[in-house]
Amino acid sequence: GESVGLHLPTLSVQEGDNSIINCAYSNSASDYFIWYKQESGKGPQFIIDIRSNMDKRQGQRVTVLLNKTVKHLSLQIAATQPGDSAVYFCASFVYNFNKFYFGSGTKLNVKP
């Protein structure tokens, strides 16, 4: 289900380092996953997605890893930049409820 009403955990990284943001999902009926980036005052922006028949997908500077055994999803950002500072949400599509559920989010703070 959804995690709501929780204050955001924060991950602080140095500019240039790699970032890893984690997400756990609970429903084994999840078969499609998306990572979103939300900057202050804006709507969530699509970053990368992955379907359950894959365990890894790469984009530009981002990689998503899916471990269905432990119901875990991660987003790796290479060479993190100040512009990457935002809140990151994972979303999972649960097919027996036919809708997306969102994680509670992680705030990424990139230090120059």
Q: What residues line the site for another protein (CB under 8 A)?
A: 2-8, 31-32, 34, 36, 42-46, 49, 51, 89, 91, 93, 95, 97-105
- Shortest Å distance, C-beta 73 to another protein: 15
- Shortest Å distance, C-beta 23 to another protein: 11
Closer of 18 and 99 to another protein (Cβ): 99
Burial of 79 (0-12, 13-18, 19+ CB in 10 A): exposed
- Shortest Å distance, C-beta 109 to another protein: 13
Could you tell me where the beta strands, DSSP code E, fall in 25-85? 30-38, 45-51, 56-58, 62-67, 72-77
